[in-house]
Amino acid sequence: MEWPQLKLLASNPERQTVRGEDLVWIEDKVLQFRVPELPPGDYAVTIHDDKGPPGQPVYSFLETTAYVMFPPVWPYVFRANRAQAKFKILARPPSESFGP
């Protein structure tokens, strides 16, 4: 999935009207997306944090360089740039099946 298919929300109810792009980097967020039609099975959902807009490596380089110059943020800069969670899709009960 790409950015337009996702919705980033603040976990704080008072900030849920703020656009995902405008959320502060350190605040807790919820990533909302619609699960595509997939066959039953076990899946891995991987979220990549590319530190900047897609296709703009200069932004990523400048942002990372700025963070390296400010030691208190090092634990956030030198972390994995992805998170992964397990996701299980169960078979639909016969009463909820679509089509013939």
Tens of pLDDT along 25-84?
A: 778 888 888 888 899 999 998 887 666 666 677 776 777 777 777 777 666 666 666 778
* Contact of 2 with 50, CB cutoff 8 Å: no
In this predicted structure, the answer to whether residue 86 has a pLDDT above a threshold of 70 is yes
What confidence score (pLDDT) does residue 88 get?
93
Helices (H) and strands (E) in the chain, counts: 2, 4
Model confidence at 14, pLDDT cuts 50, 70, 90, reads very high
User: Which domain, by its residues, includes 6?
Assistant: 1-34
Q: Domain tally for the chain?
A: 2
Does 49 share its domain with 71? yes
Nearest-angstrom CA–CA distance, 97 and 95? 6
Report the predicted TM-score, pTM, of the whole model to 2 decimal places: 0.55
What confidence score (pLDDT) does residue 65 get?
75
Q: Is residue 85 part of a domain?
A: yes
